[in-house]
Each structure stands twice: as structure tokens, then as C-alpha cells.
Structure 1
Amino acid sequence: MANPGTPTLDQLRIFLAVVDEGSFNGAARKLNRAVSVISYGIVNLEAQLGVSLFEREGSKKPRLTEAGQAVLSEARAIANDVDGLRAKVRGLLEGLEPEVALAVDVLIPSHRVAAILRDFQFAFPTVALRLHVEALGAIAALLLDGTAQLGIGGPVIVDDPSFERASAGTVELIPVAAPTHALAQMEKPMSGAARNYIQLVLTDRSPLTQGRDFGVMSSRSWRLADLGAKHALLLEGIGWGNMPREMVQADLDRGRLVELHLPDHRGGVYGLSALWRRDQPPGPATRWLLDRFVEWDRGAARPSV
């Protein structure tokens, strides 16, 4: 059975240049080499692989053989992988992190995070990203145990002396319920009325704030660790609870949820902070993310309560 040899990266680049430029002359110009060097490189590559890559007869323009077509995608993948390797090592030599782990509060609207991460992908194509979405004290827990280098979290953990911090915007929280819920059907709920109905409360999976309640008014509450589950239960009319306005605006517009005007619970502004450990200053890619979240805070209008 035939056993092909191992082509060099230079031979593969010559092959790709001929394909991309459509001629040996074009490849020579692109690579700044003599045409004879290009021809010699292709001959050697064919000898290494044991197949003909280009048709030699019937056309002045080089045409790929069936074998050439099959080799093309593999050759391009190898060249791209090597380019990616060189870019990653160049970044490492310049102090660029190979990976950034980001922890964001579940209350942050996903479109805000997605817009920043889209730009991050273009700015740092060689840096891998690990995204964690958590609530309350779980953001700080991921930073403290080294799982994440940067966290965007709420006010419940902002005072921890282990962290440096910068303001990263706000999220407006409003009390909502399904239109069929008793509170939604009250024209003017009396003070304390909400205490008589199940309040859906986002709970914390972190021991840092275990046992602490945030914004709990009702004596009857269901604790949920997932914001999506809370949203679904609200739509079913099972209870009432606070949600980010941006996340439920479409439901409000379509009448699937109703904003509750409770005299003793009008919602509020959930302040966000970018957090990182004092003993682990952010590298270039992490700093870029940090700056973008801070810039969002400066560029966005603060919602009124």
C-alpha cells in the first residue's frame, strides 16, 4: 500500500497560492518568488503525496485534479491552523491571555452581553472565552476560587475587600405577574397586598450569601435558581416577582405579563459592578472586556424607578 510522504508547510503555501491566484505566475508574484521556484515546489509536493494535483494538458490555466480538490481543503486547514498557532504564541509573547473566564449576573440582559462578546471575538480571535452566568454571590465565588478572572455582578457582593471594582451599569427591576393573577386584576392594590401571594424569588447557589434574602416581601415564596424557570412560572400565573424590564418588555407589550403598581414595592435599580481580584490584575483581553462593560455604563441612560 502506498505511503505518502510528509509535505512541508512551504510546499502547501505554494499550492494554495497557485489555487488562489489562478496561475503559477500569480503565485510567484504573491510569494515574491521566481516562477521556477513555484513549479519546483508543486513538483516536490506531488512527489511527496504521490498524486498529481494539477492537470498538465489542455489548458494554460492550472486546473485541480480530483486528487487536488480533495487535498485543497486539508491543505488550507493546515495553513490556517499554523497561522492560528503563530498568532496565539505571538499574543502570549505580548502578554495576551490564552483564555478569559467571564462571570456575569443572570439579570444582565443577554443582548448586552452578546454585543460585547461579539466585538471581543473580532478583537481577540486567538483568545478562548469561558462564560459563566450566575446570580448574586455566585459571581464572587467564581472569582475567589479562580474559576473566573472578571465578574459583572450586583450590589450584594460589591463590598467584598478582596475585589477591585468599577461601575458597569444598571438593570431596572419591576414587579410583574400574569394578567390572570389576582394582584394584576386589582385596580389599586393596598399596601401589604403582595404579602398574601406567592412571590417567585431568585435564589443563590453560592455559600457567600446563603440564607440571605434580597427583595423578599411575601411570607409565601418559591425559591428558584434559574431565571428562565422564574419567567416561565410568572407567565403561568403561579406567582409574582421582580424581573429585569428589558427581559420582559415584549411580554408587557403583548399582554402576557402586567407591571404591578404596588404601593410598597415599586421595583428599583439593580446596580452592576465589574469585579476582579486585587491579587490578579486583568491582562489585555480581560481589561478590554472590563473597559467595554464600563463604557456601556457611561453610554446608557439610567432607567428611572
Structure 2
Amino acid sequence: MHKTTLEQWRMFKAVVDEGGFNQAASKIHKSTSSIHHAVSKLEDTLGVKLLVVKGRKTSLTDIGQVLLHRAQYLLEEVSRIEAVADFLSSGVETELRIAVDAAFPQDTVFQALEKVSALFPQINIDLIDTILSGANELLAEGNVDIALSPLPMNNGLNDELCCIEFVAVAHKNHALHQLGHELSVENLRSFRQVIVHDSAIQNKTDAGWLGAKQRWSVSHLHTSIKLVENNMGYAWLPLPAIKDALSEGTLKRLQLKDGGSRRVSFYLNYFDKDRVGPAAREFMGELRLSTMDMSNSET
């Protein structure tokens, strides 16, 4: 039989998080005396001192610091168990929230969602366009259920789906095409580069070559493509998004000695297999099949 309770650990953590017993009482809607009693009982049961109170300041002891670290894992796991139980009791989810990096082939996502919608017509779909770290940030904050991202997550589940080729391109009449020789990085520096900046709020990421003396940064991939199609700069763009423009001759690849193209892995990121509902599982399965077919067609 356990000597301590989850409620005692919750109250102990609340005191640490809020900086004192009174603050914790206001936060978790308990009386100050009940929190004092719970923490004192925890200390007596364990035979250690967890907190030191000096005036209005409450501080962790060294032992308290070690046990708080362990308690956080315990409380987080209990929260996950409760969330999974709530999720399983609700049956099929009513909403599927997906963050999709703008460079990921949209048609592939749309086709997978169409099949999901046919099986689960009652489900609402919420698609959010992102760039670079943006999809993973939304997932980490609990604002989406699934992220399709060029970046894996350190503390999540990452399924590598496919590789997307990014190619350096400019309008067919761009001056870089008129130089008459293979291009070097030095040739590019004097011309305007168009880049799409990270949609994340925190911990933004830069990607690709950023060596141009003049850069225009935009928020959407579509804007970047339009600027390049209007001969207002060059860019590295995802091949699936500009195939038509290349075949029609509106855009041309830049003849770079090195780095004219690069392949980027894209990941299906999520947190907990047990919290993936039937509709989400169907979407993930369709996406894996579609990207597998896409990879096979490239080989």
C-alpha cells in the first residue's frame, strides 16, 4: 500500500509552482490550512524536509528538488491516463485538428481527408497552414492533434513520411539566367532572395541558404511562389508546388554548381498512440499509403 497520495503531491507541486502556500490555495481553490496539512503529512510520511519557509518566501530543499522532479513525471502520467480514459469513453472524435507545413503536398492531404470524411461524415476538420517549426509548436501547445512538419519532435512520435525536393528557381527572364555560365553562391548574393519565414511564435528556425544581400521575407509559400513568378526574386521552392510552372516554362531552375536542389524529410508527428481516435488513425493510414505511392512513383 502506498504511503503517500497523488493529492499530496499535487498540493506540494502547487506550492512550488505558485511560490507559496497562500498563492497555491488561490490557484487550486483549497484552503491554506489544508495545503499546509497535506505537505506536512507528506514530509512526515517520507521522513524528509521538502520545503523551507523564510518569511513570505517558500523554497525547495535539495531533497525537495529531487522529489519534485520525480513527482512531475508521476502527475503528468496520471493526467495522460485520465485524458486517455476520457478520450476512450467518448468514442469517435468530433473534430480532427491538423497543422500542415505549406511545403507538404496539399493534394495528398486533401485526398486523405476526403476518405476520412466519407467514413466519418460527422467529423469537423480544422486545417492550419504553417511554416517550419509552426506545426510542431501548435502540437506542443495542444492546439492540434497531428502535425505534418519538416522537423521531428524531441518529445513526441515522429513517422517519416516522404522526402520533398526543394529546387532553386527564378522567372524565365530573370537576370541570373542571362549570365551564360554555371552559377556560384557569389553570383546569387547580388540578387534578391525570397524566403518564407517560420510561422512559430517561439524558437523560430531558419532553413536553406540565406546569403543574399537583399531578402524579402513572406508569411506564406503561395506569396513566395507568386513573387518568383512575377520576376521579383529567386527562391528554393518545393518541387510539387511548382511543377506546372516549370513545365509551362514560367519558372526555370537556376544552373547552380552546387546546392541547386535539396531533399527535405517530412514527418507525421503526434504525441500518444492511445489518444489517436478512429478518424485520426484513418487519416494517418491514408497519408502513409499516399506518400508511399508518391515515393514509389519517384523511384
Residue 195 of structure 1 and its aligned partner are, at CA, apart by 2.0
Is residue 263 of structure 1 aligned with residue 257 of structure 2?
yes
Q: Residue 229 of structure 1 is aligned with which of 219, 223, 231? A: 223
Q: What is the RMSD computed on CA atoms of the aligned residues?
A: 2.4
Q: Percent identity?
A: 20
Residue 222 of structure 1 and its aligned partner are, at CA, apart by 1.2
Structure 2: tracts of 5 or more residues without a match:
1-86
Is residue 146 of structure 1 aligned with residue 139 of structure 2?
no
Letter in 2 for 1:262: L
Letter in 2 for 1:163: G
Residue 303 of structure 1 and its aligned partner are, at CA, apart by 8.2
User: Where does residue 162 of structure 1 map in the other structure?
Assistant: 155
Q: Residue 178 of structure 2 is aligned with which of 179, 185, 198? A: 185
User: Where does residue 123 of structure 2 map in the other structure?
Assistant: 127
Task: Say which SS state the counterpart of residue 224 (structure 2) adopts.
Answer: helix
Residue 288 of structure 1 and its aligned partner are, at CA, apart by 1.4
Report how many aligned residue pairs link the two structures.
212
Is residue 212 of structure 1 aligned with residue 212 of structure 2?
no
Q: Residue 112 of structure 2 is aligned with which of 110, 116, 131? A: 116
User: Where does residue 241 of structure 1 map in the other structure?
Assistant: 235
Q: Distance between the aligned counterparts of 1:170 and 1:302, measured in 2?
A: 12
Structure 1: tracts of 5 or more residues without a match:
1-90
Residue 189 of structure 1 and its aligned partner are, at CA, apart by 2.9
Residue 200 of structure 1 and its aligned partner are, at CA, apart by 0.5
Letter in 2 for 1:126: Q
TM-score by length of 1: 0.64
User: Where does residue 83 of structure 2 map in the other structure?
Assistant: none
CA deviations on 1:242-290 (whole Å, 9 max, x unpaired) are 1121211111122211111211222111211000124873111111111
- Asked whether the equivalents of residues 179 and 185 of structure 1 are also in contact (C-alpha less than 8 Å), the reply is no
Task: Say which SS state the counterpart of residue 206 (structure 1) adopts.
Answer: coil
Residue 101 of structure 1 and its aligned partner are, at CA, apart by 0.3
Task: Say which SS state the counterpart of residue 275 (structure 2) adopts.
Answer: coil
Relative distance call for 1:211 and 1:107 in structure 2 (3 A) is closer
Relative distance call for 1:208 and 1:96 in structure 2 (3 A) is same
Is residue 106 of structure 1 aligned with residue 99 of structure 2?
no
Letter in 2 for 1:286: A
Q: Distance between the aligned counterparts of 1:181 and 1:212, measured in 2?
A: 25
Task: Say which SS state the counterpart of residue 114 (structure 2) adopts.
Answer: helix
TM-score by length of 2: 0.65
Q: Distance between the aligned counterparts of 1:127 and 1:208, measured in 2?
A: 31
User: Where does residue 79 of structure 2 map in the other structure?
Assistant: none
Relative distance call for 1:211 and 1:269 in structure 2 (3 A) is closer
Farther off after superposition, 252-261 or 208-217: 208-217
- Asked whether the equivalents of residues 96 and 279 of structure 2 are also in contact (C-alpha less than 8 Å), the reply is yes
Q: Distance between the aligned counterparts of 2:228 and 2:296, measured in 1?
A: 26
User: Where does residue 55 of structure 2 map in the other structure?
Assistant: none
Q: Distance between the aligned counterparts of 2:261 and 2:298, measured in 1?
A: 10
